Amino acid sequence: MARRARAASPILGAVAATIEAESRALVTDSGFRHTFEAPVASVEADPDQPRRAFDAAGLQQLAATMEEQGQLQPILVRRHPSQRGHWVIVAGERRWRAAQSLGWRSILAMEHDGDPEVAALLENLQRVDLTVIEEARGIRRLLDSKGWTQSQAADALGRSKGDLSAVLGVMSLPAGFLNEVLTSELDIPRNVLVELARVRDEVKLARMIALARAGRLTVRELRQERD
């Protein structure tokens, strides 16, 4: 004979409801950000992200690490402006790309409601393989979109104004030459590009760029040329 289902206690029900309400209040009022699992398919890259080139070997290495150890750090995301339930990456695009390559269905994420441009640029500036051109473009976009001075940007990024000025100076070099460096057609060190941007004489600059293309330009030679 089947047992008769026991009627739910109204007292226990009230207690459970109170606990649930209090739990929701605690989570809502907490000053800490909480991670959640976001479907990889509902996350997309920020089209204005300063980083453009991603090293394939580096991504493979990151994917191997994530496969072995799991995702050690959440990505930062903001709500998609027009698609409900979708997210735009603020920081952590490499982790998202690695998760895609592994076929993961979800990725650990954390919502970020601060300044997304500053957060994205700060994370990218911490990467050793970010090119000085990507760095300069990101800083310039930040200055233009925020209407900041170089001093304000330096304070926000924790950099000196002189350092920011030197990086931004790279953008004065010919666009075609910069694209060759950005696409890795030319392998020119960061300090050479910074010094090259300080050459004001157009004839000297053209000669120095020709030497750089030939792989025969050094910082010492550039400084002697300027002097």
Question: Of 66, 182, 191, which Cα lies nearest the Cα of 131?
Answer: 182
The residues that are catalytic are 93
Q: What is the rounded distance in angstroms from the CA atom of residue 61 to the CA atom of residue 40?
A: 19
* DSSP letters spanning the chain: -PPPPPPPPHHHHHHHHHHHHHHHHHHHH-SS--EEEEEGGGEE--TT-S-----HHHHHHHHHHHHHH---SPEEEEE-SSSTT-EEEEE-HHHHHHHHHHT-SEEEEEE--S-HHHHHHHHHHT-TT--HHHHHHHHHHHHHHHT--HHHHHHHHT--HHHHHHHHHGGGS-HHHHHHHHTTSS---HHHHHHHTT---HHHHHHHHHHHHTT---HHHHHHHH-
